[in-house]
Chain A
Amino acid sequence: DGGITQSPKYLFRKEGQNVTLSCEQNLNHDAMYWYRQDPGQGLRLIYYSQIVNDFQKGDIAEGYSVSREKKESFPLTVTSAQKNPTAFYLCASSIGGTVGTEAFFGQGTRLTVV
């Protein structure tokens, strides 16, 4: 079945360590997005990508990095520079080139830094 897969579902890391969250889609979507959600909060855009090898900073990119080497993959690295990385991370994808299609979401990764 087509969809977006985020792994792992739960992730624990020690403070000061970098961690990479995986996001893979087989929907043949050009656009991909990473969001952060804190308890009781909305989704805040971290990075987004329109095409392979190109991505843009969102509203809260500091302390994060991404790559887009393949169309189907958009991994997010939470670096040690991110001051408060514990959060729920959601990856999404959508058809590019139009504002008229919805974004499809993965199941999310809950990151806890101890």
Chain B
Amino acid sequence: AQKITQTQPGMFVQEKEAVTLDCTYDTSDPSYGLFWYKQPSSGEMIFLIYQGSYDQQNATEGRYSLNFQKARKSANLVISASQLGDSAMYFCAMRESSGGYQKVTFGTGTKLQVIP
């Protein structure tokens, strides 16, 4: 079974509009961390935002916010006021403990294209 599921292979958004990228996860561990990364065409992985499983409030970092719905096991990324530079691949990831080790698992990603 997939640990991290991103169901949107590609998304388009108009410049200055908001966009939501979906992510659902699967774990039985009560303590875990959820992350979003951006990967431009250059290939580097850029950390965007983090949400802890015990955090009561949704995480926000500038134009990025994470819509965390624990009961539904979803951690959607919301990008407000999209910019052309936001065009990239976006990956959702989860860090959990597995047999005493911390494992980080990624989804298959969503390719976001911002249209002028």
Tell me the A residues contacting B by CB distance below 8 Å: 31, 33, 35, 40-45, 48, 50, 56, 58-59, 88, 90, 92, 94, 96-105, 107-108, 110
Measured CB to CB, the nearest residue on chain B to A49 is B101
> Can you list, as one digit per residue, whether each of B79-116 has a CB less than 8 Å from chain A (1) or not (0)?
00000000000010101110111111111110100000
Given contacts A56-B99, A56-B103, 11 further A-B contacts (CB under 8 A): A31-B102, A40-B111, A42-B91, A42-B108, A97-B102, A99-B32, A99-B53, A100-B50, A102-B50, A103-B35, A105-B44
Known: A43-B91, A99-B97. A88 touches B43 (CB 8 A): yes
Question: Secondary structure of the B side of the interface?
Answer: strand
* Residue from B45, B97, B102, B105 in contact with A105 in the complex, judged by beta carbons closer than 8 Å: B45
A63 to B24, CA, bound (A): 30
Contact at A45–B104, with CB atoms within 8 Å? yes
Contact at B108–A33, with CB atoms within 8 Å? no
Contact of B31 with A by CB under 8 A: yes
Contact at B109–A42, with CB atoms within 8 Å? yes
> Can you list, as one digit per residue, whether each of B1-16 has a CB less than 8 Å from chain A (1) or not (0)?
0000010000000000
* Residue from A40, A88, A103 in contact with B104 in the complex, judged by beta carbons closer than 8 Å: A103
Chain B residues lying within 8 Å of A98, measured Cβ to Cβ, are 102
Contact at A96–B102, with CB atoms within 8 Å? yes
* Residue from A42, A88, A99, A105 in contact with B95 in the complex, judged by beta carbons closer than 8 Å: A99
A37 to nearest B CB, angstroms?
8
A88 to B33, CA, bound (A): 25
Contact at B102–A99, with CB atoms within 8 Å? yes
Measured CB to CB, the nearest residue on chain A to B2 is A42
Chain A residues lying within 8 Å of B96, measured Cβ to Cβ, are 99
Chain A residues lying within 8 Å of B52, measured Cβ to Cβ, are 99-100
Chain B residues lying within 8 Å of A105, measured Cβ to Cβ, are 44-45
Chain A residues lying within 8 Å of B108, measured Cβ to Cβ, are 41-42
Contact at A102–B101, with CB atoms within 8 Å? no
Chain A residues lying within 8 Å of B50, measured Cβ to Cβ, are 100, 102
